[in-house]
Amino acid sequence: MDYKATIMTTPSTLVSLRITEDEMALLDSRVGLDGARNRSDVIRQAIRSFLEEQPLLPDMDKVTIPVGKSTKKRLGDLYEIHGVSPEQAASQGLQDYVRRLILEEAELNNLLADGVAIARSNTERRKEFTE
């Protein structure tokens, strides 16, 4: 997660939250990472991230993909050079993947249909079943 320094220049509302000790330990483990100065920073970023990751339309889903350093750097380079965001690249990759699977399935169906047609043509007809 990238924590952007959020200076509370606008009025904020205090919210009370009950969480388990394990969740508190996980929160505390994020303090000091990626610019988070305190628990509030971690919670604000988690809420912001959750809200930003919600689908644009009710029937849509979002997919989260963990990426390593190398892929993250390449995606950054792709954005810098071509203006293609990681989301656009992932969406294009998924579309290409689905398209390829559909084509492979169609090819397999054609092969099976051809095999059935050949098997039928090689089958001898018996006189009692023909008129």
Domain map (residue ranges) of the chain: 1-57, 63-131
116 burial level (CB within 10 Å; 0-12, 13-18, 19+): exposed
How many degrees, rounded to 5, is the angle at CA 79 between CA 75 and CA 80? Answer: 115
Q: CA-CA distance, 51 to 64, in Å (whole number)?
A: 13
- What the block records as the tokens of 18 is 């009950």
The listed range with the strongest mean pLDDT (23-27, 33-37, 65-69, 93-97) is 93-97
Tens digits of residue pLDDT in 112-130: 999 999 988 888 776 666 6
Q: What are 96-111's pLDDT values in tens digits? A: 999 999 999 999 999 9
Q: How far apart are CA 27 and CA 66, in angstroms?
A: 20
**pTM of this prediction?**
0.50
Contacts of 63 (CB under 8 A, 6+ apart): 90, 94
pLDDT tens-digit readout, 72-105: 999 999 999 999 999 899 999 999 999 999 999 9
- The stretch 28-56 carries a mean pLDDT of 85
